[in-house]
Amino acid sequence: MNGVVVTIVTAMLAVAVSFVLYETLPPLGDTTDPTDPKAPDYHFSRSYLAARHKFLTRATAAGATLASEVIYHDAELGVNLTMDAAFFKGSRPEKLLVHISGTHGVEGFAGSAIQAKLLEGFRDGKTGGASVLFVHAVNPYGFHFGRRFNENNVDLNRNWMWSEAEWQKALSREPNAHGYEDARSILNPAVSSWWDYFLRVPALIPGLFKQKAIKLAIIAGQYHDPRGIYYGGTQRESGTIALNKFLQQFGAGVKEVIALDVHSGLGPCGEDSLMVDDAEEAQAARKVIHESAGRLEYPDTDPNGPVGGYNLVLGSAKVQKSFPTAQGAHITQEFGTRPGLFVAMALAFENAAFHQTHWNSVAHQFGTKLLRAAFFVETTEWKDRVLERGVDLFGEIKRNF
């Protein structure tokens, strides 16, 4: 017990020191020459607007067919936050490979960088084999403002539902069905100052002995508290509607579809996990993932493993729903960042500070910085790993599809 307390307190003090350094020194992490094609920062961006510019510039140079949907208007900056698509028609148009970034906003740095690098390999708006659709920043609001959730505090990976029956099932679910209300004080704390992050240590200690239960409460999401974390909404959001529109626009007549949806946060730093919903989808994924098949997981493979509990999720993204007669799989590629406790605390604190403090307060800014640090490791080593593994997996799927 004492060892656990010491571990937590040490971690909190480390974060406190990091915060002070963040306030007084240049940005954490390291940078490389953004003009050097061999450097990771040639592909990585430090903001949504820079990432969007890079995506559109390279897609245009590659001759892609472009499309954009305005998701949110930033009145202060006078700019539209958009979801953008770049399409390359393949020699086998009945097959469609979709590469997705930024479903969870602030997680978009990894997927956007991979897309930027991949786009350099395309020319003349065409490609051999399956057609390719790149979708950039499904949640541009979260990407721009440093949030995991969208402009309505909705987790878009709990919002991908098309039928009345699906929504009825979600909205009628008992609020504490998977322990969300039992863990409310941990998931949705009261916040008025950035020091509240550290004052929560005593409240977290009992939770360490119920980590599995808390994990299930988080993963399952909820549909009853619009200000709480992992809120799935009450209707389809603009992001899920726009993504479906792109799929319909560029995927007419497809018979097979594979989606590669890039995320960050879960797992060892710099390592990627490959996840699908179930055994049937895993079988479809293995048709295009050969060398990396050993890394493919779904909830039933290990209920106590990293993806255990994801079978409880309602409304997770699944591009096959846009093509009822097509076969395929929606594969999540998730890059590990920080220890799970840090990521979970950053999520809870940022969301509480967002709703309970002024946008220009120290607590609000601290929460934003914590969340960015939780999902974007700004080191050369991490960026190199993301680019290498992201590009390699896309290439493997493209070859085998």
Rounded Cα gap, residues 360 and 106, in angstroms: 19
For the cut 50, the answer to whether the pLDDT of residue 109 exceeds it is yes
The predicted structure's pLDDT at residue 176 = 95
Tokens of 310: 């994801």
The predicted structure's pLDDT at residue 7 = 52
Is residue 239 situated within a structural domain?
A: yes
Is residue 226 situated within a structural domain?
A: yes
Tokens of 83: 């979801």
For the cut 90, the answer to whether the pLDDT of residue 293 exceeds it is no
φ and ψ at residue 139, rounded to 5 degrees: -120, 75
Instruction: Give residue-wise pLDDT tens across range 262-280.
Output: 999 989 999 999 999 989 9
The predicted structure's pLDDT at residue 317 = 86
List the CATH number of the domain containing 277. 3.40.630.10
DSSP class of residue 290 equals S
- Say if residue 166 is exposed, middle or buried (CB neighbours under 10 Å; 0-12, 13-18, 19+): middle
Instruction: Give residue-wise pLDDT tens across range 151-191.
Output: 999 999 999 998 999 999 999 999 999 999 998 988 998 88
Rounded Cα gap, residues 24 and 85, in angstroms: 39
Is residue 180 situated within a structural domain?
A: no
Is residue 264 situated within a structural domain?
A: yes
Question: The dihedral of CA 215, 217, 223, 228: what is its sign?
Answer: negative
Is residue 389 situated within a structural domain?
A: yes
Task: State the residue range of the domain holding 37.
Answer: 31-173+222-337+376-400
Give this prediction's pTM: 0.91
Instruction: Give residue-wise pLDDT tens across range 356-373.
Output: 999 889 889 999 999 999
Name the average pLDDT for the chain.
Answer: 89
Is residue 116 situated within a structural domain?
A: yes
Contact in structure between 363 and 401 (CB atoms under 8 Å): no
For the cut 70, the answer to whether the pLDDT of residue 200 exceeds it is no
Q: How confident is the model at residue 94 (pLDDT cuts 50, 70, 90)?
A: very high
Number of domains present in the structure of the chain = 1
Is residue 384 situated within a structural domain?
A: yes
